[in-house]
Amino acid sequence: MSNIWELDEEMEAKAGWCFVPERPLAACDVMLAQKIALETDEAAVIALANRVSPRLPSRPRTGRRAY
């Protein structure tokens, strides 16, 4: 689940990170577990996570919306 995107100063994706809990969980619980893990010990999570290229075609577009 590569839904973690590290952004640069211009808010463009610099790197993607893929990591999931050991046990199967619902998507919303996975995201909550990822959030808690990153807030608790970001360095340890990044050390375990798989790096994903931000240039993949499946990457969600990042952009600013004009409101």
How do the pLDDT tens digits run along the chain, 67 residues long?
A: 567 888 889 988 888 888 888 888 898 898 898 899 999 999 999 998 988 887 755 555 555 555 5
- Predicted confidence at residue 44, as pLDDT, reads 93
Instruction: Give pLDDT, residue 35.
Output: 92
Check residue 41 and give its pLDDT.
95
3-state per-residue secondary structure call for the chain: CCCEEEECCCCCEEEEEECCCCCCCCHHHHHHHHHHHHHHHHHHHHHHCEEECCCCCCCCCCCCCCC
Query: Which pLDDT belongs to residue 22?
Result: 83
